[in-house]
């Protein structure tokens, strides 16, 4: 029942540096008082939660007594989850708006402890529901129609019968919850706080410490020698810690293998996918299609080399923008462009989004010690979604704005149309909403562009987004499938071995042997840098989502009958259905080749347009 307690905060560009310190007004900051007026109110609600955790212990062993008792316990469980989601949202966002403040850190830690207590207090639900069996649950649902809102979550539990332990086993697994995050915690501490970052002198004479934010900034430098200097310094430092990161990551891989075994799964990938009842064919089809269509990615790299004027394309050449622009987009202008772009989704959608953008759901600008990157949190059911941005007044910021508001509108519509227990939705459908809005934004920007230079800016941005969100994430998924399978079989993996596996995949995807993009062996330590690998089999959903989003957006923009309603019904459904089946019912089968072919076709169309503009100039 608790896999959606608090959904992962949907995020993009987590290492995006906070480059601009804009003059903020109160309207540019999110209003956390919508959650709790004061921290004292949070404390009081936390006390209520703990009282309810004691109360729900009275349900332990009594779910099967009567339909009335069952209903009371199910409702109490839902109330507890809803309360915790609100508490956790306030705690995490208080911390994120100022990561240097002790009060926010303390609140976040207290929230984590509450979450673990919740898991322990309610761990009896799954085994007890399973012991009741499908027949008795069906009888209860027939006797009391108000239980219908629990039908899907109950089915989700019942289908996991062979993977759920007895009460003693579930209690033990829940108790170990606090002790199984070591690998992720070590990675986070070492990579964000303790790495002795190198210093380099750029061609301008400026000396820069190349930490993660500086790497993200300077890897897109106009100066090619500077880019290589930054790459060599940054990856050279990670290489020094290859052994440590190897041990850390191997520990996480072993943990995943152990949990798969404890839960009676054949391997860790099957377990991860089964959480949302995703067919293995979806994951395998993504990688098969990507590998078969690497010529499309290689076409992009060749185009990039021509546009940058580079003869011997290297890995350090993939980040400079294809088109540089001094054009500035304020948050006001960006919001107006976004609102204009989503008109194909209908008046109701536009009206709701327009109103929402005026109500302080966003924390807009970067500032010292604010969390970097961008995300949307929509689990505070009785309040509204919140968006963290780091708006830099460039076009990428507008694209990020559209992305995160896609998430926000998904949560808004799901919360409006679903009860709490089925409102929250998995990542598999979440990223469809965000990437679809990005396609709408590009379509709108191309329609209003005043010059070929402006069109190139938008086309280049979209092209790079497809590389980073589809091909790069599919490459990561390929690596994850490989290393998890090796550890699932009981084999060892050192840092050096992980680098070799990742390097081979990296070189294949970038056409190294054909001289398309040459990969320096030093850079193959990149696997150690990717935080998403500590959230097993997560990133593939960015790729599947952009594939589905591209297909939905194309159909809506072409005016295909029913396409808009099919898409909006996915958003309104929240987590009330299994995501693969929900998307398939809307006309897109993610286990087939079609949605992936739509991505490749879209990418080639964009390159056709860029090459047509270039041809006019020569």
**Distance of alpha carbon 442 from alpha carbon 519, whole angstroms:** 31
Superfamily of domain 10-164 in the CATH hierarchy: Oligopeptidase f, N-terminal domain (1.20.140.70)
Is 12 in a helix, a strand, or coil? strand
Contact 7, 379 (CB under 8 A): yes
The model's pLDDT over 509-541, given as tens digits with 9 standing for 90+, comes to 999 999 999 999 999 999 999 988 999 999 999
Per-residue confidence (pLDDT) for residue 2, from 0 to 100: 40
Per-residue confidence (pLDDT) for residue 16, from 0 to 100: 41
On the question of pLDDT at 368 being above 70, the answer is: yes
Q: Look up residue 401 and give its two tokens.
A: 């704005």
The model's pLDDT over 232-253, given as tens digits with 9 standing for 90+, comes to 999 999 999 999 999 999 999 9
Contact 431, 10 (CB under 8 A): yes
Contact 421, 149 (CB under 8 A): yes
* Contacts with 336 (C-beta within 8 Å, 6 or more apart), sequence order: none
Per-residue confidence (pLDDT) for residue 163, from 0 to 100: 85
Per-residue pLDDT band for 455 (boundaries 50, 70, 90) equals: very high
Mean pLDDT computed over every residue of the chain: 92
pTM of the entire predicted model: 0.86
Please provide the DSSP assignment of 288-323 as one string.
Answer: HHHHHTHHHHHHHHHHHHHHHT-SS-BGGGSSS-SS
Contact 403, 563 (CB under 8 A): no
Where are the chain's structural domains? 10-164, 331-458+545-602
Mean pLDDT along residues 83-108 = 94
Per-residue confidence (pLDDT) for residue 23, from 0 to 100: 67
In order of 74, 85, 359, 589, 591, the CA distances from 603 in angstroms are: 47, 39, 36, 20, 20
| 526 part of the active site | no
Contact 435, 549 (CB under 8 A): yes
Per DSSP, 526 falls in state G
Q: How many CB atoms lie within 10 A of CB 96?
A: 22
Please provide the DSSP assignment of 343-384 as one string.
Answer: GGG-HHHHHHHHHHTTSS-EE-S--TTS--SEEEE---TTS-
145-154, 158-167, 450-459: range with lowest mean pLDDT:
158-167
**Distance of alpha carbon 269 from alpha carbon 554, whole angstroms:** 31
In order of 115, 320, 472, 496, 572, the CA distances from 423 in angstroms are: 19, 40, 30, 44, 8
**Distance of alpha carbon 109 from alpha carbon 172, whole angstroms:** 22
Mean pLDDT along residues 534-558 = 93
Per-residue pLDDT band for 178 (boundaries 50, 70, 90) equals: low
Dihedral sign computed on CA atoms, order 484, 487, 488, 489: positive
Mean pLDDT along residues 582-606 = 95
From the list 128, 170, 404, 480, the catalytic residue is 404
In terms of pLDDT, which residue wins out, 192 or 116? 116
Task: Find the largest Cα–Cα distance for the chain.
Answer: 80
Strand extents, DSSP E, 360-484 = 362-363, 374-377, 386-388
| Percentage with pLDDT > 70 across the chain | 96
Is 199 in a helix, a strand, or coil? strand
On the question of pLDDT at 20 being above 50, the answer is: no
Per-residue confidence (pLDDT) for residue 19, from 0 to 100: 46
The model's pLDDT over 29-84, given as tens digits with 9 standing for 90+, comes to 999 999 999 999 999 999 999 999 999 999 999 999 999 999 999 999 999 999 99
Per-residue confidence (pLDDT) for residue 335, from 0 to 100: 98
Per-residue confidence (pLDDT) for residue 161, from 0 to 100: 85
Per-residue confidence (pLDDT) for residue 116, from 0 to 100: 93
Q: Look up residue 500 and give its two tokens.
A: 């070799």
Per DSSP, 387 falls in state E
The model's pLDDT over 192-222, given as tens digits with 9 standing for 90+, comes to 778 899 999 999 999 999 998 889 889 999 9
Per-residue confidence (pLDDT) for residue 176, from 0 to 100: 75
Mean pLDDT along residues 326-338 = 95
The model's pLDDT over 278-296, given as tens digits with 9 standing for 90+, comes to 999 999 999 999 999 999 9
On the question of pLDDT at 168 being above 90, the answer is: no
Per-residue pLDDT band for 22 (boundaries 50, 70, 90) equals: low
In terms of pLDDT, which residue wins out, 191 or 203? 203
On the question of pLDDT at 472 being above 50, the answer is: yes
Contact 393, 20 (CB under 8 A): yes
Contact 384, 406 (CB under 8 A): no
In order of 4, 291, 355, 370, 460, the CA distances from 415 in angstroms are: 14, 38, 16, 28, 35
> At residue 229, what are phi and psi to the nearest 5 degrees?
-60, -45
Contact 177, 116 (CB under 8 A): yes
Contact 113, 46 (CB under 8 A): no
């Amino acid at each position: 029942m608790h896999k959606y307690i608090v959904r992962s905060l949907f995020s993009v560009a987590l290492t995006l540096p906070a480059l601009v310190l804009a003059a903020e007004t109160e309207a540019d900051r999110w209003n956390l008082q919508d959650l709790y007026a004061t921290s004292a109110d949070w404390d009081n609600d936390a006390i209520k939660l703990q009282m309810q955790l004691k109360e729900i212990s009275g349900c332990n062993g009594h779910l099967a007594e009567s339909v009335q008792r069952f209903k009371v316990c199910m409702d109490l469980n839902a109330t507890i989850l809803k309360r915790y989601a609100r508490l956790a949202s306030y705690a995490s966002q208080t911390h994120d708006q100022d990561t240097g403040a002790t009060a926010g850190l303390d609140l976040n830690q207290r929230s984590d402890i509450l979450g673990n207590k919740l898991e322990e207090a309610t761990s009896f639900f799954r085994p007890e529901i399973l012991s009741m069996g499908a027949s008795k649950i069906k009888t209860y649902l027939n006797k009391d129609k108000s239980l219908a809102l629990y039908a899907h979550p109950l089915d989700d539990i019942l289908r996991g019968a062979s993977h759920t332990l007895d009460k003693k086993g579930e209690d033990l697994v829940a108790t170990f919850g606090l002790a199984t995050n070591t690998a992720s915690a070590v990675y986070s501490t070492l990579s964000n706080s303790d790495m002795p970052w190198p210093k380099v002198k750029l061609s301008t004479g400026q000396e820069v410490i190349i930490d993660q934010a500086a790497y993200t900034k300077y890897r897109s430098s106009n100066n090619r020698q500077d880019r290589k200097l930054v790459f060599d310094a940054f990856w050279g430092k990670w290489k020094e810690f290859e052994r440590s990161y190897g041990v850390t990551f191997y520990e996480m891989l072993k943990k995943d293998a152990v949990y798969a075994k404890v839960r009676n799964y054949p391997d860790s990938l099957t377990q991860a996918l089964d959480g949302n009842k995703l067919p293995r064919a979806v994951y395998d089809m993504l990688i098969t299609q990507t590998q078969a269509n690497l010529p499309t990615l290689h076409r992009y790299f060749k185009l990039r080399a021509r546009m940058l004027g580079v003869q011997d394309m290297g890995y350090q050449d993939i980040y400079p923008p294809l088109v540089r622009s001094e054009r500035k987009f304020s948050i006001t202008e960006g919001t107006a462009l976004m609102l204009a772009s989503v008109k194909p989704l209908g008046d109701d959608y536009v009206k709701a989004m327009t109103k929402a953008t005026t109500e302080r759901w966003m924390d807009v600008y970067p500032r010292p010690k604010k969390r970097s990157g961008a995300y949307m949190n929509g689990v505070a059911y009785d309040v509204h979604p919140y968006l963290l941005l780091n708006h830099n007044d460039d076009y990428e910021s507008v694209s990020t704005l559209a992305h995160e508001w896609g998430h926000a509108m998904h949560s808004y519509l799901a919360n409006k149309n679903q009860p709490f227990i089925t409102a929250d939705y998995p990542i598999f459908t979440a990223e469809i909403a965000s990437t679809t809005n990005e396609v709408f934004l590009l379509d709108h920007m191309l329609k209003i562009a005043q010059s070929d230079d402006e069109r190139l800016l938008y086309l280049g941005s979209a092209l790079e987004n497809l590389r980073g969100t589809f091909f790069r994430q599919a490459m990561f998924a390929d690596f994850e499938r490989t290393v998890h399978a090796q550890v699932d079989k009981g084999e060892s993996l050192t840092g050096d071995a992980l680098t070799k596996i990742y390097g081979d995949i990296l070189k294949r995807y970038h056409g190294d042997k054909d001289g398309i993009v040459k990969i320096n062996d030093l850079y193959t330590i990149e696997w150690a840098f990717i935080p998403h690998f500590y959230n097993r089999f997560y990133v593939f959903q960015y790729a599947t989502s952009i594939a589905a989003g591209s297909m939905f957006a194309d159909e809506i923009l072409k005016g295909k009958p029913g396409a808009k309603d099919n898409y909006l019904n996915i958003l309104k459904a929240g987590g009330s259905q299994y995501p693969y089946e929900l998307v398939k019912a809307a006309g897109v089968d993610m286990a087939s080749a079609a949605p992936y072919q739509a991505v490749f076709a879209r990418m080639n169309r964009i390159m056709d347009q860029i090459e047509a503009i270039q041809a006019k100039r020569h």
